Structure 1
Amino acid sequence: MQRVMFSAVVATMLLGLSACSGMSTQDKNTAIGAGVGAVGGAVLTGGSTAGTVGGAAVGGIIGHEVNK
């Protein structure tokens, strides 16, 4: 079962990374910020949906504004 889960995670990561190939730097920063914010929001709120979504939104905004 662990092998199947690991394979699914690896496949998802590869698909996600290939989707970023045509993105601008600002788009990549936005996506990275949203991902980091979602993880941070989930950790800080004990995994609540509102905390995860809020963290993703805040992280995405910060990531978008980094290079301006």
Structure 2
Amino acid sequence: MNTIKHLAAIAAILSLSACAGMSQQDKNTAVGAAVGGVAGSVLTGGSAVGAVGGAAVGGVIGNQVNKPPR
């Protein structure tokens, strides 16, 4: 079962390479959400709530990375 989860996570991350029309900030948000979701799932032993929470936190962090100053 863990192998399926890992393969799904890798497929999700690799699919982000097709986002050519996205801004850098949008790409950072998507990558942050993907990595956060995987990390949240791993840290909580495969919990869906952990994956969703990790994706939300990762997306916010990814969105703020290299954000242009106001």
TM-score by structure 1 length? Answer: 0.74
d(CA) in 2 for partners of 1:60, 1:17: 17
For 1:67, the equivalent position in structure 2 comes to 66
Q: Which runs of 5 or more residues in structure 1 are unaligned? A: 1-5
Q: Which runs of 5 or more residues in structure 2 are unaligned? A: 1-6
Moved over 2 A (4+): none
For 1:28, the equivalent position in structure 2 comes to 27
d(CA) in 1 for partners of 2:17, 2:32: 15
| Percentage of pairs with the same residue | 63
TM-score by structure 2 length? Answer: 0.72
Q: Deviations over 1:5-59 (max 9, x none)?
A: x8xx87xx45x422x0100000000000001000100000001010000000000
d(CA) in 2 for partners of 1:63, 1:32: 7
Letter in 2 for 1:17: S
Report how many aligned residue pairs link the two structures: 57
Q: Compare CA radii of gyration and give the structure with the larger one.
A: 1
CA-CA distance at 1:67 after TM superposition? 1.1
Letter in 1 for 2:28: N
C-alpha RMSD of matched pairs (Å): 2.0
For 1:52, the equivalent position in structure 2 comes to 51
